[in-house]
């Protein structure tokens, strides 16, 4: 009888540990966001990806429709080649455009898709041709400074 109650306590301990891991994975981690839905790859090229990371979300109209697959550098065109894994249940027209956006002022970067008007849909392995690079804060500031300086010169004339 004593054996049985001891086994029960050990079993409870192991279950508690497993429950703690499950809680961490589901509630603290991104396990619930991990979808095991089938995806199809779409390739995009960007001049500058800024701080985009693999597994960043791909959103359309603010809804997550996929994840960033891998990111490589193409030494022929000197551009970044980003593979997007889009969930198979979502179809996008061929002339969809991709932008790298930032959530919040300094938040994480994600890819935003804007659907076009083409009647044919993107299929696995297609390339999105219209892309817009990430906004790099330094170049934005330098552009602003240059335009300010140019204004200053014009007013002197």
Residues near other proteins (CB under 8 A) are: 6-7, 9-10, 12-14, 16-21, 23-25, 27-34, 55, 108
Tokens 């959103």, residue located: 59
Segment holding 100, helix H or strand E: strand 97-102
Nearer to other proteins, 19 or 145 (CB): 19
Nearer to other proteins, 21 or 123 (CB): 21
Coil, strand or helix at 140: helix
Residue 51 CB, shortest distance to other proteins, in Å, is: 14
Residue 7 CB, shortest distance to other proteins, in Å, is: 6
Nearer to other proteins, 35 or 142 (CB): 35
Residue 143 CB, shortest distance to other proteins, in Å, is: 27
CA distance 58 to 1: 57
Task: Give φ, ψ of 146 to 5 degrees.
Answer: -60, -45
Residue 88 CB, shortest distance to other proteins, in Å, is: 22
Nearer to other proteins, 24 or 149 (CB): 24
Conformation bin of residue 61: beta by default, left when phi > 0, alpha when psi is -120 to 50: left
DSSP 119: S
């Amino acid at each position: 009888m004593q054996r049985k109650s001891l086994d029960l306590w050990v079993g409870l301990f192991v279950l508690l540990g497993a429950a703690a891991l499950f809680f961490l994975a589901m509630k603290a981690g991104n396990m619930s966001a991990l979808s095991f839905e089938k995806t199809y790859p779409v390739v995009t090229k960007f001049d500058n990806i800024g701080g985009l990371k693999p597994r960043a979300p791909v959103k359309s109209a603010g809804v997550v429709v996929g994840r960033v697959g891998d990111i490589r550098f193409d030494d022929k065109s000197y551009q970044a080649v980003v593979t997007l894994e889009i969930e198979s249940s979502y179809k996008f027209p061929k002339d969809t455009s991709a932008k790298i956006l930032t959530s919040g002022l300094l938040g994480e970067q994600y890819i935003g898709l804007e659907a076009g008007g083409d009647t044919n849909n993107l299929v696995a392995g297609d390339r999105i041709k219209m892309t817009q690079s990430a906004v790099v804060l330094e170049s934005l500031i330098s552009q602003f400074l240059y335009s300010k300086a140019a204004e200053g010169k014009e007013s002197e004339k």
